[in-house]
Structure 1
Amino acid sequence: MSVDVLISNLTNPVLLFFVLGIIASLVKSDLKIPDSSSKFISLYLLFAIGFKGGQELSHSEFNPEIIYSILFAIGLSVIVPLYTFYLLKRKIGTPNAGAIAAAYGSVSAVTFVTAVSFLENQGVSFGGHMVAIMAIMESPAIVVGVILIMLNDRTKEEKKSIGGILKHSLTSGSVLMLTGSLVIGLIADASQARGIEPFTTDIFKGFLSLFLLEMGMVTANRIKEFKKHGLFLFFFGIMVPLFNGMVVAYTSRFLTESEGNRFLFAILAAGASYIAVPATMKLAEPRADPGIYIPMALGITFPFNITIGMPIYYAVVQLF
């Protein structure tokens, strides 16, 4: 791994605001981003990345590589929940194992956005269809996680409707904003789309910095709650994403020659959802403890990926 790439990533202003958020929480500062502003920033990031991806996709030639990429992505969002569920089932029980499996099989939109910023700093291009792939990977993992819980649940509680779970996962706010913006960007007239380019592009990193500032504060608070669950889940939250990211960084070479696309595939495989999955699991499987799977995704996997993980995955992509 290039030391220059690691230093460049760790000194990225966007990431440094994440560190500032952690420090603010540790020193018990009264620094806070209002809830309404936080929700707006979240929606803005999903809108901007979706719209830009749709615009890029509209200029891309629809070829076999895109079809294979979509199939590869769906395969990842099914395989990762399967093996993680059975790794965890005996340790923490069926509901919690299913929720964590869904989280790690799904994707982290914010990690993806940070990875895009990383590629821009490295001057590496990527295909607009990768945004569509991110949106596609969100729901299958959630459905697989719930199905695994239903199949392995020995209680006689009422079974959840697969159709209802699928509907909720597809219509949750984050998924709908991302996919809707992608479609709008895809069909929008290019000359008209340039009119909102300053909003979707020029101020993007500023809003991302504010979002990561808040994520830093939330991370510091969540990790305190997580300590009582022991070291096994802590190491799981690092080693499983690291394994997924490195394997996909290598295997994606058989799918595409684009370094940017391969790197983003690795990030999607290594990320864990802390937005869509908790919202769905709250309805689908209320027995799953959010005090376990949210801190794992947000307090352990997310910081690891955006600091150490990204340079490692990028190094694997460059090596092969």
Structure 2
Amino acid sequence: MELQLLFDNLTNPALLFFFLGLLAVQLKSDLEIPANSSKFISIYLLFSIGFKGGQELSHETINAEILWSLVFGVVMALIVPIYSFFLLKKRLGVQNAGAIAAAYGSVSAVTFVTAVSFLEMQQIAFDGHMVAVMALMEAPSIVIGVLLMALFREESEHKVSFSHILKHSVTNGSVVLILGSLVIGFLASDKQAQGIEPFTTDIFKGFLAVFLLDMGITSGRKLSTFLKNGWFTLCFAVLVPLINGSVVAFVSQYITDNVGNQLLFSILAASASYIAVPAAMKLAAPKANPGIYIPMALAITFPLNITLGMPLYLSIIHLN
């Protein structure tokens, strides 16, 4: 791993605000971001990255690489939850295993956005169709998680309509917003896009920093509860993302020559959903413990990826 790259990432102001949030919790400070403000910033980040991705995509010619990238993303979203489920099922039970598997097969839009910021800081280009890849990876893992829970579900467990869960995962607000923004950005002309550029681009990093401050506060509050669950879940939340990201950092060279795209593939494979999946699991796995799968994704895997993960995956890509 390039130590300078790691140092640069650890001193990124947005990341330091994340650590400030963690510190505030440990100091028992009353610092917090109002819930409505946090929700607005989440909407803004998804809107901005989707719109900019659509703009980039409008300048690209649909070719075999783009199609293979979309297929590769969906395949990752199908494979990761399957093997994760069987690693977890014996120790944590069917519902907890299904919820965690779905979370780790799905993606974290915030991790993706942070990776985009990291690439811009490193002046590494990436293609707009990667936003579409991210959007397509959200739902398949939820579907796979539900299917696995249905296959191994005990007769006494709560039954939920599969069509209901499928609809919920596809119409989830984050999925609709990122896909909708992508389409709108694709349809907008360059002149029209320039009209809102101060909003979509100029203030992006500032909002990202405030959002990561909020994520730090949220993670800090959940961390103590999570640590009571033992070493197995902690090791899973650390090792599985690093393995997924490292393997994809190597394999993605066969999908695309673009270094930025390869890093984003790695981050998508390594990240875990803590927004869309928990919302779906309230219906699909009511007995699953959110005190396990949400902190795993948010308090462990998320900071791991944005500190050590991105420099590690980029170093592997450079070695290819």
Partner of 1:235: 235
Q: Which amino acid is 1:185 matched to?
A: G
Partner of 1:192: 192
**Structure 2 CA distance for aligned equivalents of residues 274 and 43 of structure 1:** 15
Partner of 2:95: 95
Partner of 1:46: 46
Cα displacement string for residues 95-139 of structure 1 (whole angstroms, at most 9, x for unaligned residues): 000000000000000000110111111110000000000000000
**Structure 2 CA distance for aligned equivalents of residues 192 and 70 of structure 1:** 27
Q: Which SS does the other structure have where 2:196 is aligned?
A: helix
For the aligned residues, what is the CA RMSD?
A: 0.8
Partner of 2:213: 213
Percent identity, aligned pairs only, is 61
1:130-169 equivalences under 5 Å are 130-157=130-157, 159-169=159-169
Partner of 1:291: 291
Q: Which amino acid is 1:124 matched to?
A: I
The offset of 1:222, in angstroms, is 0.7
| Larger deviation, residues 139-148 vs 187-196 | 187-196
Q: Which amino acid is 1:205 matched to?
A: K
Q: Which amino acid is 1:279 matched to?
A: A
Count the aligned residue pairs.
320
Q: Which SS does the other structure have where 2:133 is aligned?
A: helix
Q: Which amino acid is 2:149 matched to?
A: I
The offset of 1:79, in angstroms, is 0.3
Q: Which amino acid is 1:315 matched to?
A: S
1:14-163 equivalences under 5 Å are 14-157=14-157, 159-163=159-163
**Structure 1 CA distance for aligned equivalents of residues 256 and 173 of structure 2:** 31
Q: Which amino acid is 1:297 matched to?
A: A
The offset of 1:163, in angstroms, is 1.9
| Larger deviation, residues 155-164 vs 2-11 | 155-164
Give the unaligned 5+ runs of structure 1: none
Give the unaligned 5+ runs of structure 2: none
The offset of 1:245, in angstroms, is 0.1
Q: Which amino acid is 1:290 matched to?
A: P
| Larger deviation, residues 152-161 vs 255-264 | 152-161
Whether the 8 Å CA contact 2:160–2:283 is kept in 1: the answer is no
**Structure 2 CA distance for aligned equivalents of residues 189 and 87 of structure 1:** 48
Cα displacement string for residues 164-184 of structure 1 (whole angstroms, at most 9, x for unaligned residues): 111101111111111111111
TM-score, normalised with respect to structure 1: 0.99
The offset of 1:243, in angstroms, is 0.3
**Structure 1 CA distance for aligned equivalents of residues 33 and 156 of structure 2:** 43
The offset of 1:154, in angstroms, is 2.0
The offset of 1:162, in angstroms, is 2.2
Partner of 2:313: 313
Cα displacement string for residues 275-316 of structure 1 (whole angstroms, at most 9, x for unaligned residues): 000011011211111000000000110010011111000100
TM-score, normalised with respect to structure 2: 0.99
The offset of 1:158, in angstroms, is 5.1
Cα displacement string for residues 45-98 of structure 1 (whole angstroms, at most 9, x for unaligned residues): 000001100111111111000001111111000000000000000000000000
Whether the 8 Å CA contact 2:53–2:182 is kept in 1: the answer is yes
Whether the 8 Å CA contact 2:114–2:306 is kept in 1: the answer is yes
